[in-house]
Structure 1
Amino acid sequence: MPIPNLHDRARRLRRDATDAELILWRLLRTRQVALKFRRQHPVPPYVADFACVALRLVVELDGGQHGGPRDVARDTAMRAKGWIVLRYWNNEVLENPDGVLADILRVAAEVKPAP
């Protein structure tokens, strides 16, 4: 059952992306990454920052307001639906974008595609 306005919220989040989200999105889109990622993809009742649907892999970027019980509950809910969740701090992306991308690709290489 769709969550009201979930797609509107995703659209708004894409429009109001952080610098870290824009940097990682550029890397995921312009590098020779053989995976298709979606930006601000609904995973009801949440919106994932990035998702590779084929691998059921979610990548979340966190600023200073994250890292607490809400994120634990969010990750638990997504994992219960079969998603793998990776989390990185915004400053990790800003300071070492290639390292974050390499880590995402390493995990992706270990995951079997979803049926």
Structure 2
Amino acid sequence: MYNDRNKKILRQILRKEMPKGENILWQRLRRKQLGYKFFRQYSISKYVVDFYCPKLKLAIEVDGISHEGKFEYDKNRQEYLASVGIHVERFNSKEIFENIDDVVQTVYFSCKRLEGNE
């Protein structure tokens, strides 16, 4: 169910061609800077999420140009992830470009809240 080997090539392409907003957020999430291990372009069943913390079952999605016109897909993915107990935080690229510190703080507080629910 998690990190499907069949999606390995897709995940590699997505990491290599990461949009700027995702890259900016990744620089703040990587190497346990918030105290939690995040993976980027992580597959869960048939879906690939932008960032994922397995310990907390927290997925982070960055909505940008690649998400335009994909409302139904995003809705189905959100419903599936919720059905398997994964919490999803969504941000748009504009939020990241204009308020990265607020975005990171929101992620941090989500981590702390979810850690308390373990």
Answer whether TM exceeds 0.5 for this pair: yes
Moved more, 23-32 or 34-43: 23-32
* 8 Å CA contact 1:54, 1:113 repeated in 2: no
Q: Secondary structure at the match of 2:18?
A: coil
* 8 Å CA contact 1:55, 1:113 repeated in 2: no
Map 1:1-115; keep pairs closer than 5 Å. Answer: 5-29=6-30, 32-64=33-65, 65=68, 68-112=71-115
Q: Secondary structure at the match of 1:36?
A: coil
Identity of aligned residues (%): 30
- Structure 1 spans left out of the alignment, 5+ residues: none
- 1:4 deviation in Å? 7.1
* 8 Å CA contact 2:63, 2:90 repeated in 1: yes
* 8 Å CA contact 2:32, 2:38 repeated in 1: no
CA distance change for structure 1 residues 66 and 101 in 2, over 3 Å: closer, same or farther? farther
Query: Could you list the per-position Cα deviations for residues 46-70 of structure 1 after superposition, in whole angstroms to 9, with x for gaps in the alignment?
Result: 1110000100000000014156222
TM-score by length of 1: 0.88
TM-score by length of 2: 0.86
* 8 Å CA contact 1:56, 1:114 repeated in 2: no
CA distance change for structure 1 residues 114 and 36 in 2, over 3 Å: closer, same or farther? farther
Q: Number of matched residues?
A: 115
- Structure 2 spans left out of the alignment, 5+ residues: none
Which of the pair is proportionally richer in helix? 2
Task: Write the distance in 1 (CA, Å) between the matches of 2:53 and 2:31.
Answer: 15
